[in-house]
Amino acid sequence: MLDPESFDQDMASAAYMWPAELHSQFSTPQYPLVVDSGLSTSQLPQFARSSQPVLSNIDSLPNMSPPLHIEDQVDSVGHYPHEKGSTIPDPLSYSEHGRTFQAYKQHKYDLPNDAVEQDRLDLGHSLWRMVMNDTLHWAPVDKPSRVLDIGTGTGIWAIEFAELNPQAKVIGTDLSLIQPDMNGQLPNLEFIREDVEEEWTLEGPFDFVHLRLMFTCFNDHRSVMRKAYDSLRPGGWIEYQDSEVDYDSDDYSHRGTALHKWNFLIKAGAAARGRDIEVSRKYKEYLMQIGFVDVVEKKIKVPGNPWPAGRRRKEMGEIAEVISTEAVQAMSPKMLGDEGLGMSPDAVQQIVSLVQGNIHDQKIHITWPFYVVCGRKPFPDEVGQHPVVNRED
Is the pLDDT at 41 greater than 60? The verdict is no
For the purposes of burial, counting CB atoms within 10 Å of the CB of 330, is it exposed (0-12), middle (13-18) or buried (19 or more)? buried
266: how many CB neighbours lie within 10 A of its CB?
25
Under a CB-based contact definition with an 8 Å cutoff, are residues 323 and 127 in contact? yes
**pLDDT attached to residue 329:** 95
- Give me the percent of the chain exceeding a pLDDT of 70: 76
pLDDT confidence of 386, banded at 50, 70, 90?
Answer: low
Whole-prediction pTM value? 0.80
Name the residue with higher pLDDT: 28 or 95. Answer: 95
pLDDT confidence of 94, banded at 50, 70, 90?
Answer: confident
Which residues lie below 8 Å from residue 97, measured CB to CB, with a gap of 6+?
A: 333, 334, 337, 345
**pLDDT attached to residue 314:** 97
Rounded average pLDDT over 151-170: 97
Lowest mean pLDDT among 5-19, 188-202, 243-257, 359-373: 5-19
pLDDT tens, position by position, 278-331? 999 999 999 999 999 999 999 999 999 999 999 999 999 999 999 999 999 999
Residues 45, 43: Cα–Cα separation, whole Å: 7
**pLDDT attached to residue 10:** 39
**pLDDT attached to residue 385:** 64
**pLDDT attached to residue 180:** 94
Domain boundaries, the chain: 4-376
Is the pLDDT at 25 greater than 90? The verdict is no
**pLDDT attached to residue 46:** 37
* Mean pLDDT rounded to a whole number for the chain: 81
| Diameter over CA atoms, the chain | 64
Q: What's the residue count for the chain?
A: 393
Q: Which sign does the torsion angle of CA 304, 307, 309, 312 carry?
A: positive
**pLDDT attached to residue 188:** 97
What single letter denotes the amino acid at residue 61? L
CATH architecture of 4-376: 3-Layer(aba) Sandwich (3.40)
pLDDT tens, position by position, 47-85? 333 333 333 333 333 332 233 333 343 433 333 333 344
* Phi (first) and psi of residue 211, to 5 degrees: -140, 135
pLDDT tens, position by position, 184-214? 899 999 999 999 999 998 988 999 999 999 9
Lowest mean pLDDT among 15-24, 165-174, 375-384: 15-24
Tell me the residue ranges of DSSP E strands in the chain: 93-96, 99-102, 146-150, 169-174, 189-193, 206-212, 232-243, 293-303, 367-376
pLDDT confidence of 117, banded at 50, 70, 90?
Answer: very high
Under a CB-based contact definition with an 8 Å cutoff, are residues 245 and 263 in contact? yes
Is the pLDDT at 352 greater than 80? The verdict is yes
**pLDDT attached to residue 44:** 34
Residue 320, helix vs strand vs coil: helix
Rounded average pLDDT over 347-351: 96
Which residues lie below 8 Å from residue 2, measured CB to CB, with a gap of 6+?
A: 32, 33, 34, 35
Lowest mean pLDDT among 22-31, 195-204, 245-254: 22-31
Rounded average pLDDT over 106-127: 91
**pLDDT attached to residue 383:** 76
**pLDDT attached to residue 32:** 27
Under a CB-based contact definition with an 8 Å cutoff, are residues 290 and 222 in contact? yes
Rounded average pLDDT over 255-260: 96
Residues 284, 40: Cα–Cα separation, whole Å: 9
**pLDDT attached to residue 109:** 84
